[in-house]
Structure 1
Amino acid sequence: MTSNPSDAPTPPPAGAGNGPAVSHEEFDALFETVRTWGRWTPADRGAWHRVTADRVRQATALVRSGTVVPMARPWNTASGPDNRRPALHYMSDLGDVEAPEPATHKDFIAVDYHGKAVSHLDALSHVAYRGQLYDGRPARELIDSAGARFGAVSALGPLVTRGVLLDLPAVAGSAWLEPGRAVHAEDIVAAERALEVTIGEGDAVLLRSGGLRRRQELGAWDPDAASAGLHVDALPLLAERGIALLGGDGDSDVRPSPVDGVHSPVHALAIAAMGVPLLDNLDLEALSAACAGTGRYTFLLVVAPLNIPGGTGSPVTPVAVL
Structure 2
Amino acid sequence: MARFTVPDYDDLPAVEGMPHGCAWGIFDRDGKKDVFGCLNFLDPATVREAYKELTEGVSVSLNWPLDAILEPSFSRKALVHKVIRSEDQLDGARGFDDELEFNTQASSQWDSLVHYKHQATACGYNGDKSTVEELQRPSRQQRDPKPPTLDHWHLRGGLVGRGVLLDYFAYSEAKGAKYSCFKERRISVQELEEVAKFQGTEFKQGDIVLIRMGVTAELDNANGESQAALIRSGTYIGLEGTEESARWFWNKRFAAVASDNIALEAIPPLKADGSLGNLSELPLHQYLLSFFGMHIGELWDLEALSQKCKAFGRYSFVLTSVPLNVPGGIASPPNALALF
Which bin holds the TM-score, normalised by the shorter protein?
A: 0.7 to 0.9
Per the alignment, in what secondary structure is the counterpart of residue 164 of structure 2? strand
> What amino acid is the match of 2:201?
V
The aligned residue for residue 161 of structure 2 is 161
Shift of 1:217: 2.7
In structure 2, what is the equivalent of residue 135 of structure 1?
126
SS in 2 for 1:255: coil
Among 316, 319, 323, the alignment partner of 1:305 is 323
Q: Map 1:107-122 onto structure 2 (within 5 A).
A: 107-114=98-105, 117-122=106-111
Q: Is the 8 A contact 2:76 2:103 kept in 1?
A: no
| Alpha-carbon offset, residue 209 of structure 1 | 0.4
Aligned equivalent of 1:249, options 253, 260, 264: 260
Write out aligned runs for 1:206-225 (5 A). 206-218=210-222, 219-220=226-227, 221-222=230-231, 225=234
SS at match of 1:227: coil
Picking from 63, 83, 104, the partner of 2:54 is 63
Partner of 1:292: 310
Instruction: Confirm or deny: 8 A CA contact 1:59 1:300 kept in the other structure.
Output: yes
Alpha-carbon shift at residue 297 of structure 1 (Å): 0.5
State the SS of the aligned residue for 2:317.
strand
Structure 1 residues 177 and 32, CA gap change in structure 2 (3 angstroms): farther
Match in the other structure for 1:21: none
CA 1:301–1:78 in 2, change beyond 3 Å: closer, same or farther? closer
Q: Whole-Å Cα distance in 2 between the matches of residues 287 and 35 of structure 1?
A: 33
2:87–2:94: 8 Å Cα contact kept in structure 1?
A: yes
Which 5+ residue runs of structure 2 have no aligned equivalent? 1-17, 272-276
Q: Take 1:306 and 1:85, find their aligned partners in 2: how far apart are those partners?
A: 18
| Native 8 Å contact 2:153 2:322 kept in 1 | no
- The corresponding residue for 2:292 is 274
When structure 1 is superposed on structure 2, of 227-236 and 205-214 the one drifting more is: 227-236
1:92 paired with 2:88, answer no
Change (3 A) 1:144 1:310: closer
* Contact kept in structure 2, 1:151 and 1:312, CA below 8 Å: no
| Distance change >3 Å, CA 275–CA 236, structure 1 → 2 | same
Q: Count matched residues.
A: 289
CA distance in 2, matches of 1:223, 1:185: 27
Call closer, same or farther: CA 1:317–1:92 in 2, change over 3 Å: same
Contact 2:212 2:259 in 1 (8 A): yes
1:230 equivalenced with 2:239 (yes/no): yes
**Ranges of 4+ aligned residues in structure 1 off by more than 6 Å:** none
TM-score (norm 1): 0.82
Instruction: Pick closer, same or farther for the CA change 1:256–1:243 going to 2, 3 Å.
Output: same
* Partner Cα distance (1:78, 1:207) in 2: 20
Structural mapping, 1:17-96, within 5 Å: 32-41=19-28, 42-76=33-67, 79-80=70-71, 82=73, 84-95=76-87
**Preserved CA contact (<8 Å) 1:131 1:140:** no
SS in structure 2 at match of 1:61: helix
- For the 8 Å contact 1:203–1:245, the answer to whether it is kept is yes
Q: Whole-Å Cα distance in 1 between the matches of residues 319 and 41 of structure 2?
A: 15
Please give the per-residue CA displacement for 1:184-218, whole angstroms capped at 9, x wherever unaligned: 11111111100111222111011110011112234
Aligned partner (choices 171, 190, 195) of residue 191 of structure 1? 195
Give a deviation string over 1:96-141, Cα, whole Å, max 9, x none.
67836x5231111121112xx3111111121211211111233459
Kindly indicate whether the alpha-carbon contact (under 8 Å) linking 2:135 and 2:329 is maintained by their aligned counterparts in 1. no
In structure 2, relative to structure 1, the CA distance for the partners of 1:98 and 1:246 (3 Å cut) is: closer
Structure 1 residue runs without a partner (length 5+): 1-30
Q: What is the identity percentage for the equivalent residue pairs of Structure 1 and Structure 2?
A: 23
Secondary structure of 2:288's counterpart equals helix
Give 1:152's match in structure 2, choosing from 149, 154, 157: 149
Q: 1:308 to 1:145 in 2, by over 3 A?
A: closer
1: CA distance between counterparts of 2:309 and 2:267?
27
Contact 1:79 / 1:85 at 8 angstroms: preserved in 2? no
TM-score, with structure 2 as normaliser: 0.78
Q: Could you tell me whether the CA contact under 8 Å between 1:177 and 1:209 is conserved in 2?
A: no
Please report how far the alpha carbon of residue 77 of structure 1 lies from its aligned counterpart in structure 2 after TM superposition: 7.8
CA distance in 2, matches of 1:278, 1:160: 16
